Structure 1
Amino acid sequence: MTASHLPQKPDFAALEAAAPESADRRTTVLSLIGSLVFNWSNNESLFIYVLMLLLKVDQASAAIVFATLNTTRARLDLIQRLARIRIKDKTLSKELNGLIDRFNDGTHIRNELNHCMYTVDSAGAISHTQSMRLVQTRNALRFGEVKPLDDVRIHEMSDAVREMARINREIWDFLPRLEAHLRSGG
């Protein structure tokens, strides 16, 4: 009989017994993930209004175009292409590109945390993440990168949440200026 390639099944009874000891840490991790997803989703949705202004359509039409494109990357590509032909003010254009670049940076950590497997240690604490992406090198194909979910990573997650909140406020500030520019024939 061959050895299994599967990971060892967790001792769920032991994990459940140990879980109260690590509840605060787990709550912190889950709260950060939830906050990141919440802020990211709100930011992505605000780009519907950017698209609405660039296309000169109503909100429902912009939402239809937005939803028809099945990836965030495709949606933002469309916005950037439209911006190139519609926004004449270089400062405004640069600001939009900066917002999109910063949003994309946050997308990386959001994707990482949404598309991974979480490892729980014997004390019930979330200790590691394993990416669900295949990593191909010249000589091998391996299953996702394993990263510790330590204090450094918690700090990175907190920074990402704060940055997504800043981006949200900046998009709200940007929208009326974009609207005024486009109304003026920009």
Structure 2
Amino acid sequence: MRRPAKGSSVLPPRPDFDALGLVSTRRSSPRRLTFMTLAGDLNLAWSNDESLFIYLLMLLLRTDERAAAIVFATLNTTRARLDLVQRLAKIAPLEKAVRGELNDIVERFSAATRLRNDLSHATFVIDAEGEITHTQHMKVEESRGNLRFGLRKPVDDDRLEEIARMIQDLHALNRRIWDLMPVLEAAMTSPEK
């Protein structure tokens, strides 16, 4: 355990509460508004896609919407829900192309989930003008046997573009899920192979 030097602290620096107060009392900068809008749009698009997994579960489990919603809600993480979809797809009477499409949808949604979680489970570093300059990830990550905590990422043009691209990817993914559902329904209601 790391011990602080005498007279110092291991705690992060205290936020600039005056800068935080300025943000609520004056107009936000265009970059801040863009970031906040993109973060909200990402969450909206992600939530719309995640909700459709109830119907994928309904079809794969050959049950009704209420039972599928119970299964969905009982699995309290997105990862658990996606794992169940993939495992059910392995035993379902699906053609290889349909199973491949379903797995690709899950993989692409998983990538979006990583970005969404990065923004939803971070603290935000704000400068003296109230500008969001960085996100600080509040998760322990393990890589090659090393643990990291508090990874900081800048909120710059590249980051804003990454979020905007992911929103577009989620919109496209939503259409793919809607396109897949009737195909999956037909496969799951046809006589067993």
TM over 0.5: yes
- Does 1:160 pair with 2:161? no
Q: Deviations over 1:15-46 (max 9, x none)?
A: 54477464321111111111111111111110
TM-score (norm 2): 0.87
Amino acid across the alignment from 2:191:
G
* Of 10, 15, 29, the match for 1:10: 15
User: Which residues of structure 2 form unaligned runs of 5+?
Assistant: 1-5
TM-score (norm 1): 0.90
* 2: CA distance, partners of 1:168 / 1:48: 13
The 5-angstrom pairing of residues 132-151 of structure 1 reads 132-135=138-141, 141-151=147-157
**Local SS of the residue matching 1:119:** strand
Bigger helix fraction = 1
Change (3 A) 1:138 1:170: closer
* Of 48, 53, 62, the match for 1:47: 53
CA contact (8 A) 1:87 1:93 kept: no
Equivalence for 1:58: 64
Number of matched pairs: 186
Amino acid across the alignment from 1:4:
S
The 5-angstrom pairing of residues 30-179 of structure 1 reads 30-135=36-141, 141-179=147-185
Amino acid across the alignment from 1:56:
R
Amino acid across the alignment from 1:163:
D
Amino acid across the alignment from 2:60:
L
Amino acid across the alignment from 2:16:
D
User: Which residues of structure 1 form unaligned runs of 5+?
Assistant: none
